[in-house]
Amino acid sequence: MDFDDKVAIVTGASRGIGRAIALEFGSRNARVVVNYNQNSSAADEVVKAISKSGGDAFSHQADVSVFEQAEGLVRAAIEKYGDLHILVNNAGITRDGLIMTMSESEWDDVIRTNLKSTYNCCKAAIRHMLRRRYGRIINIASISGIMGNPGQTNYSASKAGQIGFTKALAREVASRTITVNAIAPGFIQTDIWSTVPEDTQKSLMDVIPLGRVGQPEEIAKAAAFLASDDAAYITGHTLAIDGGIAM
């Protein structure tokens, strides 16, 4: 799965799953656009890591929940590298709380950042992909969008929306050799997991058949497969990578 001459945008790539995906693509010779919203130093570290391994990357600041900024991100990628083949919609936030205490802004922020950003980036990128009759779009959803999760009505709704969006867009663009798939991670060892209280972490282990949390690199390798030509006959699919929780 070599990505020679392929150009990839990864949103929310300064940390966690997005960082792992950007590094994985870079290690496979993709030219990577490392998107970030606030943490420029972390994004620059990802670029340096890709460059150190012989890859080609640059960082670009954009709040992809705003269409004009998502459009600017796609334009910057094409201006820099002359093409765009792969889009990974990974940018996301959580604002957890029971619906009785969830504010309207906490609902709106999550829907806008997680779901509207997916629409924004796809709309900005799809015209180029349609013209060249090739593209790989991967949306990083969550098992919360499959199963639901108490205290996450906003997050679960945003991720379920991504899954429905994935299926609909896959049908729209399949005739142009563009595939659209989603990955639904379970509990992954990221900054968010580190904030979960230790007793809660232990109780969650009981519902994971494999008995452990996943690693960002495990999501990244699946993203690399779905972005490769080896996955050319897979579209509209949601791949759960969750240690068996949702089976």
Q: Which residue numbers are catalytic?
A: 155
Name the 3-class secondary structure at 55: coil
* One-letter identity of residue 177: T
Name the 3-class secondary structure at 241: strand
The residue count of the chain comes to 247
Strands 135-140 and 238-241: unpaired
User: Long-range contacts of range 191-199, CB-CB < 8 Å, 24 or more positions apart?
Assistant: 191/15, 191/16, 192/16, 192/94
* Cβ atoms 114, 17 nearer than 8 A: no
CA distance 199 to 204: 9
CA distance 247 to 240: 9
* C-beta atoms surrounding 42 within 10 Å: 16
* Cβ atoms 54, 25 nearer than 8 A: no
Q: H or E stretch including 10?
A: strand 7-10
Name the 3-class secondary structure at 78: helix
